[in-house]
Structure 1
Amino acid sequence: MHRLILAAALALTTTAAMADETWSSDMGEIVYLDEQDGAAIFTFTNVDGTPARLVIPGLAGNYSNRDTHRAYWTGVGPNNCGALLSEPGQAPSANWGQALISFDKPAFPTSFTLTLGWCFDPLSTAIRAETNAR
C-alpha cells in the first residue's frame, strides 16, 4: 500500500514539474509538452516561424540533474533536407536538424540556450529561453 501511495505521489510531482515548464524566447513560448521513450519533447516556434518539436533523448523525468544535452528537432516548414526524419507518433518531415540544449542550472526551474542546425549542417542559430516558473 505504501509503495502505491509513493508511486502516485512521485507521478503527480513529475507531471506537475513537466506541466509547469514553459519558457519565453524571442521566437515565442517554448513548452515541455511530453515524454516518450525516455525523451523529453518540447514545442517551439522555429527561427523560420514554423511550429517545431524538440526531442531530447535521456531528459525525460530529469528535473534536478540537467546540463548540456544533444537533441534533434523536427518541423512542419519548407522541405529543407534531402531525407525524411520521423519521431514516434508524428508524420515524417524533411524539415529537421540537430540541436544542443544547455541549461543554466541543473535543477528545475532554469533557463537555457538552444542551438540549432539544419539537417546535418553544423549548429548555427541560438535561441535564448528564460524560464516562466516563479
Structure 2
Amino acid sequence: MFRALTLAALLTTPALADEVWDSDIGAFVYEAETDGAAVFSFRNFDGYQATLVIPGLAGNFDNRGVHEAFWIGKGPGYCLGSMSYNAQSGNQWGRALLQFDKPNYPTSFTLLMGDCFDPLSYSVRAIIR
C-alpha cells in the first residue's frame, strides 16, 4: 500500500524542467529552486535571456495564486542601480507579479512586469505545454 502511494505521489509531482509555458516572447522554463524561490528562465521582450525569481513558490504545485517576484536580464538595461542574482548582474531588472489561472499544476499564468522600480507596465500571457 505504501509503495503504491509513494509511486502515485511521484507521478503527480512534476519535475522542475517539465514545467514549460509558451508565450508570445518565447518559452518560460521552471529551471530550479533556490532558498524557497522558484527560478524560471525566459527571453525578455528585447530578446535577451532573463531570469524570473518567485520567492515562496518552490515546491508549491497545488496552492498557486498570485506571487510577487523580480526579474533580471542580460541585456544592456537602463536602471540606475545594478542588481545581481546567482552570478548574473546588470542594469536590466525589475519587479514582477505572477498570477496563475488555477491553484493546481498544470496551469497557465499571466505575468506583469516593470522596469527597475517603475510600476508594472507590461504583461505576457504564458500557456502551459
Q: Deviations over 1:30-70 (max 9, x none)?
A: 10000000000000111111110000000000000000000
Mapped contact 2:40–2:51 kept (Cα < 8 A): yes
Q: Give the structure with the larger strand fraction.
A: 2
Mapped contact 1:14–1:61 kept (Cα < 8 A): no
Among 47, 60, 76, the alignment partner of 1:49 is 47
Q: Which residue of 1 aligns with 2:83?
A: 85
Q: Which residue of 2 aligns with 1:99?
A: 96
Instruction: Report deviation, 1:91.
Output: 2.7
Count of paired positions: 125
C-alpha distance in structure 1 between counterparts of 2:30 and 2:9, whole Å:
16
Q: Can you give the 5+ residue segments of structure 1 that lack an aligned partner in the other structure?
A: none
1:118 matched to 2:115: yes
Among 58, 68, 71, the alignment partner of 1:70 is 68
Instruction: Report deviation, 1:12.
Output: 5.5
Instruction: Please provide the CA RMSD for this pair.
Output: 2.1
TM-score calculated relative to the size of structure 1: 0.85
Choose 96-105 or 42-51, whichever is displaced more: 42-51
C-alpha distance in structure 2 between counterparts of 1:25 and 1:127, whole Å:
7
Q: Which residue of 1 aligns with 2:30?
A: 32
C-alpha distance in structure 2 between counterparts of 1:43 and 1:15, whole Å:
20
Instruction: Report deviation, 1:95.
Output: 0.5
Question: 1:93–1:11: structure 2 CA closer, same or farther, 3 Å change rule?
Answer: farther
Q: Which residue of 1 aligns with 2:125?
A: 128
Provide the identity percentage. Answer: 54
